[in-house]
Amino acid sequence: MAPDTHSKATAEPVEKPPAGFPTDSESPIDMRALRAYRLGRVRRELKARDYAGLLLFDPINVRYATGTRNMTVWILHNRARYCFIPTEGPVVLFDFHNCEHLSQGIETVNEVRPTCSWFYFGAGPKLAERAKAWAAELADLVEAHGGGNRRLVADHCDPAGAAALGNLGVELHDGQEVMEQARAIKSAEELACMREAIAVCETGMARMRAALEPGLTENALWSILHQTNIALGGEWIETRLLSSGTRTNPWFQECGGKLIRAGELVCYDTDLIGPYSYCADISRAHFCGPGRPSDEQRKLYTMAVEQIEHNIGILKAGMSFRELAERSYVLPPKFAPNRYSAVYHGVGLCDEYPHVSYVQDFEGVRGGYDGVVEAGMTLCVESYIGELGGQEGVKLEEQVLVTETGIERLSTFPFEENLLPREV
């Protein structure tokens, strides 16, 4: 496919439900190939760092590494499901009460065991006792499959469990680097999943745009995206980032019961986890009619489009993150204080590595970090334009694939003709 770095989609949006099916077992996408690729990526990262294995609590990481899921959002804050992946050897999934059947037919999981949960809700005053029992079972797996290597990495491990593992001679290290690096480069099957998630997302976006009218609440408009996502096989939405009028500046105000009024801008960031658990992270701004946008609204929107187009135009494989930051669109001084938190960021099962900061945010312990853009990365290109103390702001975001020869736009939802001057 030829690279497309500057085209602007401005036609009327058309609803595009996914071509396939939302469930892994019915999908025309080769899910076995998808799972083999992702588990292989994880194990290559483990081997390169000389670890015996990996302990995963984060359900997003478990989903990536094994292809299994169970009550994802609930498990995010109740650590009642986890997985042990040796660098070489059988994968053992510890699942919630009576949920062993959920992983039947998933070839990346060799054994399913009941969890030994030790978070306080489940363990109460037995927390320390259960943490010791949990650690003993994990230490036995490290001993059995580590070949004498007792270096274990974990994406999360609360203090009681970490201490119990240490007491048994297991050397615990942070595992998020392993997972973020593994997830950074997408396979063809992953891209097919992501395209279906984007199709679902953009269907919801088209429905939101069609429904936008004065007197609708922000919550009611936002609910359309949720309903569409669930109806078409998606999973959840990570934020509530939709606002209107003066609530668009500064950014990051969540939607509420405010009535949307004629003449206001409405901005949103989808942050949608769609079919196959893949993320569609797209931002748009609309004008609520009747009437015509003001000159100030058009100015803000045009600047946001210019920032997006410039930053897509310079993006290519082989560039360093610092080079991208240095060459990215320069915000006028009065807009810089309200700049977004990133110029670019990775996207896969959620927002992920890398995170490319504005050049002025690179230095210091809380600053950005360097790295290299690689072909196969999927990135979101961000823009927020809102003057410090201004009335309104504009949030735009495009999702793209970095290829060997250029950039392919994955998001296709059109920009707003009524907010753009003729020459843009």
- Each residue's pLDDT expressed in tens, for the chain with a length of 424 residues: 333 333 344 444 444 444 433 456 667 899 999 999 999 999 999 999 999 999 999 999 999 999 999 999 999 999 999 999 999 999 999 999 999 999 999 999 999 999 999 999 999 999 999 999 999 999 999 999 999 999 999 999 999 999 999 999 999 999 999 999 999 999 999 999 999 999 999 999 999 999 999 999 999 999 999 999 999 999 999 999 999 999 999 999 999 999 999 999 999 999 999 999 999 999 999 999 999 999 999 999 999 999 999 999 999 999 999 999 999 999 999 999 999 999 999 999 999 999 999 999 998 888 899 999 999 999 999 999 999 999 999 999 999 999 999 999 999 999 999 999 864 4
How many Cβ atoms from other residues are within 10 Å of residue 171's Cβ?
14
Class of domain 188-419 as given by CATH: alpha beta
The answer to whether 49-183 and 188-419 have equal CATH topology is no
How many Cβ atoms from other residues are within 10 Å of residue 11's Cβ?
8
Burial 383-414 (b: 16+ CB within 10 A, else e): bbbbbeebbbbbbbbbbbbbbeebbbbbbbbb
**pLDDT value at position 17?**
45
Class of domain 49-183 as given by CATH: alpha beta
This prediction has a pTM of 0.93
Domain boundaries defined on the chain: 49-183, 188-419
Torsion (CA) 342, 267, 211, 231 in degrees, nearest 10: 30
Cα distance between residue 400 and residue 402, in whole Å: 7
Burial 236-272 (b: 16+ CB within 10 A, else e): ebeebbbbbbebbbebebebeebebeebbbbbbbbbb
**pLDDT value at position 7?**
38
**pLDDT value at position 422?**
60
